[in-house]
Chains A and B, each alone.
Chain A
Amino acid sequence: MFARLIYESFRRQQRRKLLAGVAITLGVSVATAMIAVATDIGDKINRELRTYGANLVVYPDQKNLDVVIGGVNLKPAGGDTYLDEADLPKIKGMFWRHNIVSFAPVLAVNTTVTRVSDPGSPVEDPSHTDPSHTVQLLGTYFAKQLKYGEETFTAGARSMYPYWKVNGAWPADDSQDALVGEALARELGVQPGSELNLGGHTLKVSGILSTGGNEDSQVIAPLDIAQAMVGHPGAVGRVYVSALTKPEDDFGRRDPRSLSPADYDRWYCSPYANSIAFQLQEAIPHSRAEQIRQVAQNEGTVLSRIKGLMLLVTLAALLASALAVSAAMATAIFERRGEVGLMKALGAHNGLVASMFFTEAALLALIGGAIGYAIGNLLAQRIGLWIFNSRIAIQPVLFPVVLAIAVIVTFAGSAASIRKAMKFDPVLVLRGDA
């Protein structure tokens, strides 16, 4: 009998059920989409912030200092210690390897550069000899394929520094090509295709690099060319690492050596900049790793602000959809006081009437919630593709959570109206006076 009541109520009052159902569906889809976007936006913005380049640096564990002003190394050659290039793939064997977006080894060499006159172009002034400049050549990876165990991955400047603009082509990592900084290229009068003589090596200019930084007056070449110039095969001066990190909190700033074993494990297994630096240091022998505080620290601030903003907006959206659903349910039940009067006149208890209404509300919430979840999912994916060009990861645990929220909100919205509907005197209601 109870089931039939409910069934008939849904069959005969399709319009009313539809209205309440639509409100619930809309509310739930907004809630789903907003929760999905808010939980994933941290990761998305974190990737956008990686535009800033490296947030960690690894250098040899040595005592001598860098003598660098404005990107120019003023230190006399010799006595330097290096990292071993062969150790680099180990970075992808660390605990937080999936958080490493990219890395680029760097080896700087001071050398002289002269232009090799283009064979194709006529020499305007035979007496004019190109002056030789002292420049810094930076050896690095551009987009090098590396292998660690079974896994292959690509590392290098191209993925590290999205703000580097190359007019021409990026050099291949095994070529004799190089990039020349914009300012230096202007000074030397070279363009893509020209050839340069750098400390006895002839390099072809594949592109002109513009970064707005110190690289504008440098030559960027494949790592092995710089190694050959230094005379240390396999030598790496430092490694810049770009990693996805978690904003630093008090716990993240603690010194790992002072932590209890349980805390140490927790610290080690959190992607703080400090703990990733600690693991880099473990992975690469004879090295020191540091966070580049300008990037790492501010990243955390910006990230937590944006995450907080989306969280609060989601909260506001949830509250709004809860109120809207409540209002819709209140209206839907208020309309049915005639039914309540009739049921009570026929001898139904308040409990029976209430349980019927609550069952209906629960059914509506579940159906509306399920449809709303599907729509919200689609909506979140659209937003993700539109804004970030990537899909938004939706946790499956969201489904039961969203359904539970839908049922609770629907109950809460109905409760007051149901109580009110039961208080009416059936006689007055049926006479149409209430």
Chain B
Amino acid sequence: MTHSPQSTTPQVPGSETRATQVSRPRAAGVQRQRQGSRNAMFLRMLLRAAMVRPGRAISALVAVVVAASVATAMMNLYVDVQAKLRKEFRSYGANIVVVGRDGQALPANALEKVNNVLRNPAEDGRGTSVNTVAVPFAYAVARTKAGEPVVVAGTDFDKVRKLDSWWSVSAWPGDPNAALVGVRAAKVVAPDGGPFPLTFNGKPHDFTAAGTVRTGAEEDSRVYLSLADFVAWTGVAPSSIEIAASGSTADLENTVHRLSAALPGAEVRPVRQLVEGEARVLGKTRAALMAATLVIILTAALCVLATLTAWVLDRRRDFAIMKAIGASERLINSFFAAQAAALGAVGAILGFAIGIGVAEWIGRVNFHAAVTPRFSVFPAVLAGSVAVALFSAVLPITLLRQVQPAVILRGE
């Protein structure tokens, strides 16, 4: 920019500074005018520095943009990943189980009460239940035609389907008296696949096997009926309710607490196996992500520092010329600082936009759901970028200040 004709006009900032230094009190209007023209000059210098030779500024800007976008993306992911993973963990099924005390059946309105508790968040707004499912289960032991005992369960098929997504089911029953038969039970109960009779307390009933279920656990040796069919046949009421509640460990405890208060006759317990495993895996994943975030941000900041320092050092001729024609130390400092700050700010804004895009892309590819943009990280990104940029401008200037301008201009 020092080669542009404008900068050789009489209004060089240096001469003005000197003029101000020797000035006696003068008319305020002149003062203001000078002040104004000086600010305009300063702005023009900044602008032309960026525009006359954009190559150097652009490579520095790229470094800032990259750092800011990586920082934004990582911070967004870090905040959002917990919610995303929690959703994945809900496919493990129920994390709260409500059972009657001492093997008793639950009160008739238990499910209604549970749904009430789940629908209404606590006073402090925690434990809201967007994705919660509560499924009733009733059990009885019936006999097959050959007299073999088999566990028959009554439940709500639509809800089980949501709760226990791991059930491998050949076909879900829809018709009345259609049963879902466990793969092991199927060999005993309905080896030929036709309708089969079951007897409970001397009451025989015919069912058709609509499909089989395979889980690798106790479900394989059971016969599942719809709750309506089951109650009509046996008269046995549900003895347990399985609940998949979303939220953090604290939210879960809160929900358990409120459920116990609503159902004094029942035992409400979290499925510790799931709750603990979830907490552990989530904790480790977040820690790994945090380590990655820290390492990446630190490296990006150091790269910005290196690039910007080189950029400022490269402009030592500008520095020397300004000094030689009499610019004050403060002016030069503020000139370079303003350039660095502007670079940091522009880089942060561009980087923030790109970073949001990157986080969004990762969310879509990996979790098939959007990552909510967090505008709250913007101030941090902006402040960080400007701070690193300022720091990398101040460092070389303090070095240059000790050098005579003549030495630099002679190219030594």
Chain A contacts to B: CB under 8 angstroms: 16, 19, 22-23, 26-27, 29-30, 33-34, 37, 41, 44-45, 48-49, 51-53, 56-57, 63-70, 72, 74-76, 161, 163, 211-213, 290-298, 301-302, 305-306, 308-310, 312-314, 316-317, 320-321, 323-328, 330-332, 334-335, 379, 383, 386-388, 420, 433
Picked from B70, B184, B214, B295, the residue with its CB within 8 Å of the CB of A379 is B295
Question: How far is A308 from B309 in the complex, measured between Cα atoms in Å?
Answer: 36
Given contacts A52-B274, A302-B281, contact A41 B216 (CB under 8 A): no
Picked from A56, A64, A70, A310, the residue with its CB within 8 Å of the CB of B99 is A70
Picked from A298, A313, A331, the residue with its CB within 8 Å of the CB of B310 is A331
Given contacts A57-B217, A312-B365, contact A317 B296 (CB under 8 A): yes
Given contacts A293-B166, A324-B303, contact A386 B287 (CB under 8 A): yes
A94 to chain B, nearest CB (A): 19
| Listed stretches B83-91, B116-124, B194-202; interface member | B83-91
**A293 & B168 in contact (Cβ 8 Å cutoff):** yes
Question: How far is A327 from B64 in the complex, measured between Cα atoms in Å?
Answer: 10
Given contacts A66-B218, A293-B167, A293-B217, contact A328 B303 (CB under 8 A): yes
Given contacts A327-B59, A328-B307, A334-B59, contact A163 B292 (CB under 8 A): no
A250 to chain B, nearest CB (A): 14
**A65 & B150 in contact (Cβ 8 Å cutoff):** yes
A sample of 23 inter-chain contacts (CB < 8 A) reads: A34-B295, A34-B296, A45-B281, A49-B277, A52-B273, A63-B188, A65-B184, A70-B99, A161-B273, A212-B270, A213-B273, A294-B92, A298-B89, A298-B91, A298-B92, A301-B91, A306-B281, A309-B77, A309-B285, A312-B366, A328-B307, A331-B56, A331-B307
Question: How far is A386 from B294 in the complex, measured between Cα atoms in Å?
Answer: 14
Q: How large is the interface on B (under 10, 10 to 19, 20 to 34, 35 or more residues)?
A: 35 or more
**A51 & B295 in contact (Cβ 8 Å cutoff):** no
**A308 & B292 in contact (Cβ 8 Å cutoff):** no
Contact partners of B164 in chain A: CB under 8 A: 294
Picked from A51, A70, A420, the residue with its CB within 8 Å of the CB of B103 is A70
**B217 & A292 in contact (Cβ 8 Å cutoff):** yes
Picked from B89, B217, B361, the residue with its CB within 8 Å of the CB of A294 is B217
**B215 & A45 in contact (Cβ 8 Å cutoff):** no
Given contacts A16-B310, A68-B151, contact A312 B362 (CB under 8 A): yes
B13 within 8 A of A: no
B139 within 8 A of A: yes
B389 to chain A, nearest CB (A): 14
**B70 & A317 in contact (Cβ 8 Å cutoff):** yes
**B81 & A309 in contact (Cβ 8 Å cutoff):** yes
Picked from A19, A30, A69, A327, the residue with its CB within 8 Å of the CB of B296 is A30
Picked from B67, B314, B366, the residue with its CB within 8 Å of the CB of A335 is B314
**A293 & B296 in contact (Cβ 8 Å cutoff):** no
Picked from A41, A308, A379, the residue with its CB within 8 Å of the CB of B366 is A308
- Bitwise, B14-38 to A at CB < 8 A (1) or not (0) is 0000000000000000000000000
- Bitwise, B250-278 to A at CB < 8 A (1) or not (0) is 00000000000000000001111111110
Contact partners of A332 in chain B: CB under 8 A: 310
**A292 & B66 in contact (Cβ 8 Å cutoff):** no
A215 to chain B, nearest CB (A): 10
Contact partners of B340 in chain A: CB under 8 A: none
Given contacts A313-B362, A334-B56, contact A37 B288 (CB under 8 A): yes
Picked from A64, A212, A326, A328, the residue with its CB within 8 Å of the CB of B272 is A212
**Nearest CB to that of B184 among chain A residues?**
A65
- Bitwise, B181-210 to A at CB < 8 A (1) or not (0) is 000110110000000000000000000000
**Nearest CB to that of A420 among chain B residues?**
B55
B277 to chain A, nearest CB (A): 4
Picked from A29, A294, A296, A308, the residue with its CB within 8 Å of the CB of B365 is A308
**B93 & A387 in contact (Cβ 8 Å cutoff):** no
Picked from B74, B218, B240, B277, the residue with its CB within 8 Å of the CB of A313 is B74
**A48 & B295 in contact (Cβ 8 Å cutoff):** no
B368 to chain A, nearest CB (A): 10
B241 within 8 A of A: no
**A293 & B314 in contact (Cβ 8 Å cutoff):** no
Question: How far is A127 from B295 in the complex, measured between Cα atoms in Å?
Answer: 71
Given contacts A19-B309, A26-B303, contact A320 B216 (CB under 8 A): no
Contact partners of A294 in chain B: CB under 8 A: 92-93, 164, 166, 215-217
Question: How far is A27 from B306 in the complex, measured between Cα atoms in Å?
Answer: 12
